Amino acid sequence: MDAQLIVVLAGIVLMVVIVGSVLFMRGYSGKFTFDTADGTRPRASEGDGNTTGVAFKGRFTMLTAGVVAMFGALVAKLWSMQMVSSDYYDTLSEQNQTRTVTTPAPRGRILDRNGVALVTNRASLAVTAYRDVADDPVLVRHVANVLGMPYVAALRNIQDNTEGAQARHTIATDVRRSTIAYIQEHAGVFAGLYVDERTERQYPYGTLAAHVLGYTGTVTQGQLAAQEEAASSLDEGAITYTSGDTVGQAGVEYEYESVLQGIKGEQTVTVDAFGNVMSEAGAVPASAGSDIRLTLDLAIQQACESGLNHAIESAKQQGMVNAGAGACICLDCTTGEVLGMASAPTFDPSVFIGGISNDDWEALNGEDSGNPMLNRAISGQYMSASTIKSLTSLAALEYGIYSSTRTTVCTGWWTGNGEENGQACWLETGHGTQNLQGGIAHSCDPVFYDIGHDFYYNPDNPEGMQEMFRRWGLGSPTGIDLPSEGEGRVPDAAWKERYFSDWSSEDRSWNPGDMTNLAIGQGDILVTPIQMATVYAGIAMGGKELTPHVFYSAVSRTGEGDAYRYNETGTKERLTAKINSDADLALVKAGLHDVIYVTSTDTARHFSSLPVEVAGKSGTGEKTGEDNYAWFCAYAPADDPKYVVTAVLEQGGGGSDTALIAVRDVLGHIYNSPDTYTSYESGVR
């Protein structure tokens, strides 16, 4: 203890000084010798002025001086405190007795592109009270009875400080109007209770677009810690959160939190030493957050979700018992706007209102839950399957690996990498002689095995295929304005070497089989549905890919109109893939047209009822130990593309048999032309 040391040292110094002065006085008086017999001071020394009377006078002077000195010290210290430093103490006194509590601001609403509210706010009447009401057990019991809740629960809510010790604590929310009226009529009995209007998230369309919209929840400790860390770099106007605040936790609610979150109001209260609120002082009202318009179109969103469910149901009927998960996306390829985005299985965002229960959380995140909160449209990473063949073809044409006139004879079994490494075509009986356009149309694997094989042994561009995939944006996120987007994977020799670092160097070397697998979109390649939708949008647009986005605009706070658009112009260019020659692209597009109208009468029948021509590609991913993954990517109209629809079904079987259904349903909805043909037995993969 430092103060203790100081006192000890001061004491020692003082003692030394006193002893010194005593010795000094001794020595001084010792100079005198008295002319008496033994040299001592004579008993009666009245003569030297040392009479009792004179001595007393001196002592009284000393005493008076002491009293005056004491008052002098007190006044001096008081002067310094009350006259000089008064402002400092005044501030401390002010801080002592005032607290600022915040009042919540309503979040902005989330609308679809036509202004239909997808997420809105619901007024909720809450009964609140300051903490000191807990000291009145009779009142608490009354309140509990009126609100129909247990006494202990009511007491706990009043004493709970998470909303701030000096703020009004919520006893119950969503209190019925009749109960509120009763409380207000008996204001005398319920003195100390307040009725506060709160807003809570409401979802008029239930689970619709739940993955895009996201949900709100109480700010987490991690988020608060992150805020603390970033505090130094934050600018002045940034929103600061405190424990108990409601913030977006996923989807648009999370991504556009700063737009949706309003500015909290402030209420200054005066308190006593025990924290009891004595009175309310100045208040700054809360201001609501801005509304957001999304690019989603309610009708197309509904079509995506129902189409996806239709496809899943069909897959189950076709014997794919594990079907149930998947995604379906509808893009406007001319703007990059996401018109619909569905992911299955889905969840109900309203379970998060007012805090999610453990059971609900377990149901959404448990081992057997099927991860309903995962937005598979952007976070699901799958092998691309045959949908990649468009890009494989472009690469083959550009690098001269496979000309438009070259042909491959498909017998159903391809042995280009040697007999022992033979690979099958999906059609075991073989397609016969196929050129590249036919290879795309029929999804004939040996054509692409040849391409992969020839790339592998091409000394100039052994990885030209991967270069082409990356050129079109695979292996990197699309930059969609939603959280947790997957980036996919374009495998190459370097990747394999790195990824399987615990394998022997022989096993992890890039071999021809890897290349032939990659050419048909099997093996280690991973893509997200939004990536494939963007790639097909790029194909439709002649190589130009626009960044997919769900944010259309922030609605102006005052009146109608937009405060600002997405990227100010409404579109953002993601990339423009260089096209070697228009003829290459035309060949691919012709192949995609043939997929729909030539290869299979079954498929053609589904699409020929539409008023516009469609181009597209199916895909069927093979995964060991699981049923096949179904893909279908399409754009329409084929001659002047606007809509791109992509669907993927986990373990949904063949792409043309199941994923096609979702795509056809969405297009059918857009062109107001429902699918009239009910057979899904084309078998084309």
Partner 1 sequence: MATASRAARSNASSLKRVNKTMNMSRGGFRQSVHLGVLAAWLGLVAYGCVVMWSASLSIPEVSFSRHLLGIGLGFAAALVIWNTDLRNLQNISTALLVIDIVLVFLPNVPGLSHNANGMTGWIRIPIIGLTYQPVELVKLVTIFFISSLAAQYNGRIDTVRDYIKLCGMLFIPFACVIIQGDLGSGLVVFFSGAVVIMMSGAKKEWVLSTLAIMIGLVSLILATDSIIDGVLGDSNSLIKDYQMNRLLVFIDPESSTSEEGYNLQQALIAVGSGGFLGKGIGNATQSSSGFLPEAQTDFVFALTSETFGFLGAVVLLALFALLMLSSVRVAVKNENLFMRLACVGIVGMWMFQIFENIGMCIGLMPITGIPLPFISFGSSSMITQCCAVGIVQSIWRFRQKSA
Site for partner 1, rule CB under 8 A:
1, 3-8, 11-12, 14-15, 18-19, 21-22, 25-26, 52, 55-56, 59-60, 63-64, 66-68, 70-71, 73-75, 77-79, 81-83, 85-86, 88-90, 92-93, 96-97, 270-274, 278
**How near is the Cβ of 265 to partner 1 at its closest, in Å?**
25
Q: Which is nearer to partner 1, 64 or 608 (CB)?
A: 64
Compute the least distance from the CB of residue 75 to partner 1, in Å. 6
d(CA 642, CA 667): 11
Q: CB within 8 A of 215, min separation 6: which ones?
A: 201, 248, 249, 250, 251, 253, 349, 352
In the complex, minimum distance from the CB of residue 53 to partner 1, in angstroms, rounded to a whole number: 8
**For residue 121, what are the β-bridge partners?**
201
- Beta carbon of residue 14, minimum distance to partner 1 (angstroms, whole number): 5
Cα R_g (the chain), whole angstroms = 41
Within 10 angstroms of residue 71's Cβ, the number of other Cβ atoms is 10
Which residue in this structure is represented by tokens 């439709």? Answer: 540
The nearer residue to partner 1, 55 or 586, going by C-beta atoms, is 55
With CA atoms as reference, report the closest residue to 407 among 436, 385, 379, 378. Answer: 436
Nearer to partner 1, 19 or 123 (CB): 19
**Shortest Å, Cβ 276 to partner 1:** 9
Q: Identify which of 369, 322, 379, 368 has the alpha carbon closest to the alpha carbon of residue 346.
A: 369
| Burial call 521-547: b when 16+ CB within 10 Å, e when fewer | bbbbbbbbbbbbbbbbbbbbbebbbbb
Question: How far, in Å, CA of 424 to CA of 453, rounded?
Answer: 14
- Looking at the Cβ atoms of 79 and 564, the one nearer to partner 1 is 79
| CB of residue 99 to partner 1, shortest distance in Å | 12
DSSP element (H, E) containing 302: helix 298-317
- For 121, phi then psi, to 5°, come to -110, 145
Residue 377: CB minimum distance to partner 1, A: 56
Beta carbon nearer to partner 1, 82 or 415: 82
Any idea which residue has 């006193």 for tokens?
18
Nearer to partner 1, 61 or 484 (CB): 61
Which 8-state DSSP code applies to residue 568?
A: T
Nearer to partner 1, 125 or 271 (CB): 271
- In 406-492, alpha helices (H): 436-442, 445-456, 464-471
Shortest Å, Cβ 126 to partner 1: 29
Q: Provide, rounded to whole angstroms, the least separation between the CB of residue 169 and partner 1.
A: 21
Of 277 and 684, the one with the shorter C-beta distance to partner 1 is 277
**For residues 524 and 496, is the Cβ–Cβ distance under 8 A?**
yes
Given the complex with partner 1, which of 22 and 153 has the nearer CB atom? 22
- Could you list the beta-strand ranges (E) of 22-163: 98-103, 110-111, 117-129
